Structure formats: structure tokens, C-alpha cells
Chain A
Amino acid sequence: MLDQSIIEESSLRSPLAEASTLKPKDGGRKRLIVVTLMLTSLVDAFSILVVYLLMSFASNGEILYINKDTELPTAQQTDVLERNTIVKIEEGKLFVENEEVQQKGLVAKLLEVRKSWAQTHKEETAQESEPALTIQADRRTKYEVLNSVVLASSHAGFSDIHFAVLQK
């Protein structure tokens, strides 16, 4: 029955026994070495992997779009990154929510953002909730560049500033 089954095709011959000069096995009766795979342990391993990956699946991973040339600074004592208005500094250029803004027009743009925030968060405004700003910049950026954003946010009334960092 085994000869007709599919197992015969997938069965392995012993290469050592076939190569033997004293008593070659391939001439006589064939000895079959049937290899079976233990699927239970494989399923277990796969299940553990799936559970681990599901647990580490971050739903907030898309808050920031980081350029490949941008390296965020690292820190240990960090807070959870929340979805706020993002001001990005890339190669000396300023972006507010991915829209390039000139340094002179930054305050006006932030005021506009704050105004639209107040309209969409009327209930929160009543509870004295303040909008926050997230700054995303390369770790080598000089404070001279960052200063314009800090000043503009202060002028536009953003009291909370969140610096995006990589967790150590």
C-alpha cells in the first residue's frame, strides 16, 4: 500500500546506505526512511508568534511620518505621544501638518490651527483644556532653528510643547 501512496514519492533514501560498497542497500530491498513533520509544535510556535506580534501591534504608530534622514533624539523618561498639531523641522524648512510654512508666517498659521481647534473642541475649551504642539526635529538641529518654533507657539498661545523623541 505504501508503494502506491504519495508517501513513497516523498520518502527519503538513506544516502549512506546507498553509498556503502560492502553491502549496498539500493541493489536489494529498499529501506524507506519516512520523514514526518510534527505539526503540533509548529502550530504552537506560530500561535505564540501571532500573539506576540498582535500584542506589540501599535495602533498609534502612524502619528509621525519621519523622513529617513531625520534622527530623533533619544530619552528614557518619555510620555505617550498623542495626536496634536505637528510642527516638523526638516533641512531648515518648517512644516505644519506636512504643509510647508515660511518662518514669518508660522505664528499666523499656528493661530489658524488654534482657531480651528477651538471650533472643533468647544466642550474641551469649556473645561480649560489647552491645545498642544508636537515638535519633530533631527537630533542635530541647533536651538537657533527650534527657537523660532518655540517663540511662535508661545505667541500663538500653545502652552504645552511636546518634543518627539525615541524611547531608549
Chain B
Amino acid sequence: MRRKKSLDNEIDLVAFISLLSVCICFLLLTAVWIQIGSMNVKQAVGGQAAEGKKNPALWTLVQSDGSLSLRLEDAPKKVSRKFARMRVEAIDGKPNFEQLRTQVAELKKVLPALTTALIQPKKATAYEDIIGMMDLFKQEGLSDLGVAPL
């Protein structure tokens, strides 16, 4: 009488583990650990075409000491009058981003159509401060950004 052949087969895991180890090594070596994105802007001056109705725009003038002067353009007179002079003081030569956020949020509440923000830096303004302002504006819903040349 023939004995029944066992049907329990075992997979050789050693080769599989070797393959997985090589895969992990390769992927770890080629992995990109930093995520690079981009901050997209339109050219500030001349970018806004004269197409009939102009959209309100928030101009941010960066002063040499790091303080910011905010100015509204093409906004309804009532709002313009209320927010005629907005100033954000500097902290250690850098813009006070928290104060700027508060002012922009307040402005956005009064003028929801405000989606354009233009930054006018000075020669000595640091690139990271400009990006910081752009990031803040985007967070507050001002998606059309621009930087004015000197």
C-alpha cells in the first residue's frame, strides 16, 4: 500500500526575507525625507490687468526696521476709511506675524472679496520674511499674491 504524500508544503521564507531586506535598503537609501513645495506668485506690478472692475488689493510695505504698513487699494470707501492706517510693529527687526495675522483676519471679515495681496519689500528684507508673509496671506484666504520689484 502506498503511503499518502503530505500536502503541507512550507514556503522558504529565507529568500523572501532577503528580497524584502534588499528592497528596504534600496528604498531607505533613495527616500526623500524633505518635502519641497512652491509658493506661486504673479508679477505684482502690471499683473493685474485693467479689466473693467478692479478687485480690492492689500499692499504690504515692509519698512527697513521690519515693521509693516498695510494699505488697501480699490476697496469700498467705507472699508478704506476704517482701515486707512494699519501698522504692524516689528519684533527684533522682524515682522510681527501674529499681529499681522490678526489684522488681516479682521480685514478679511469686513471685506471677504479681498483675495489679492501685494508685498513691497525693502532692499534688506530677508527672503524668509517675504515667504512668511505670503504663507500667512494664503492661510487667511488671500490667494493671489505678488511681489513688487524695488
Contact = CB atoms under 8 A, between A and B. Distances in A.
Contacts of A57: 27, 30-32
Interface stretch (B50-58, B72-80, B103-111, B133-141): B133-141
B40 A161 contact: yes
Contacts of A18: none
B43 interface: yes
Contact of B149 (A75, A78, A141, A150): A150
Nearest to B119: A143
A142 B132 contact: no
Contacts of A164: 36-38
Contact of B38 (A80, A140, A141): A80
A144 B150 contact: yes
Interface string B38-73: 111111011100000000000000000000000000
Contacts of B24: 46, 49-50, 53
Interface residue SS majority, chain A: mixed
Interface centre among A40, A132, A142, A161 (most CB of B within 10 A): A161
Contacts of B47: 159
Interface residues of A, number: 53
A94 interface: no
Q: Chain B: interface secondary structure? A: mixed
Interface in B13-44: 13, 16-17, 20-21, 23-24, 27-28, 30-32, 34-43
Given A73-B128, A160-B40, A43 B31 contact: no
Interface of A: 39-40, 42-43, 46-47, 49-50, 53-54, 56-58, 61, 63-64, 72-82, 132, 134, 137-144, 146-147, 150-151, 153-154, 158-167
Given A50-B23, A167-B37, 13 more contacts: A46-B17, A53-B23, A54-B27, A56-B31, A73-B127, A73-B131, A74-B128, A76-B135, A77-B39, A77-B139, A150-B43, A154-B43, A167-B35
